[in-house]
Amino acid sequence: MRRLMMMVTIASLAGCGPSAPPTPKPEIKVQGEAQKQIAAANELDRTIGLKRAIYDSGNVCHRMIGSRFLVNYKNLAAWQADCDDGVSWAIFIAPEGSVQVRRCADEKELKLPECAAPTVDKAAGIHKKTAGTKPAA
């Protein structure tokens, strides 16, 4: 009887060897119509949309001198808008179309993705490039 119990114990321990590492869960990306529209928009329409988001949040941007896509962050499409007063804004667009606007200067403190440095020709006061990378579809 002891011998049988010992064999059962050994057999059960033999199956407890190193197991395969857990498979990573696939990332689920949700993209809404508002996010798709701003990504597909031409420069003028994107400027209008981002500027409206800034104004709707109670902030001001008299003249936008550039914008760029930053990153997808927790299902939010993050865009940057640079204004002629030297203030840059991060605009986070949710899949259902809601928007949050934050000053780029506050991103690090808020532990949000940081904005890129504005690519502005200070002497001419114009934005050199407004593209940046487009979000992956």
pLDDT digits (tens, 9 = 90+) for 58-104: 999 999 999 999 999 888 999 999 999 999 999 999 999 999 999 99
Q: Contact at 8 Å (CB) between 120 and 82? A: yes
DSSP state of 132: B
Judge residue 128's burial from the number of C-beta atoms within 10 Å of its C-beta, 0-12 exposed, 13-18 middle, 19 or more buried. exposed
Cα(128)–Cα(137) distance, integer angstroms: 26
Strands 99-103 and 76-83: unpaired
* Amino acid found at 4: L
Q: Which residues pair with 80 in a beta bridge?
A: 68, 90
Residue 35 pLDDT greater than 80, yes or no = yes
Domain boundaries, the chain: 33-127
Q: Can you give the pTM of this predicted structure?
A: 0.67
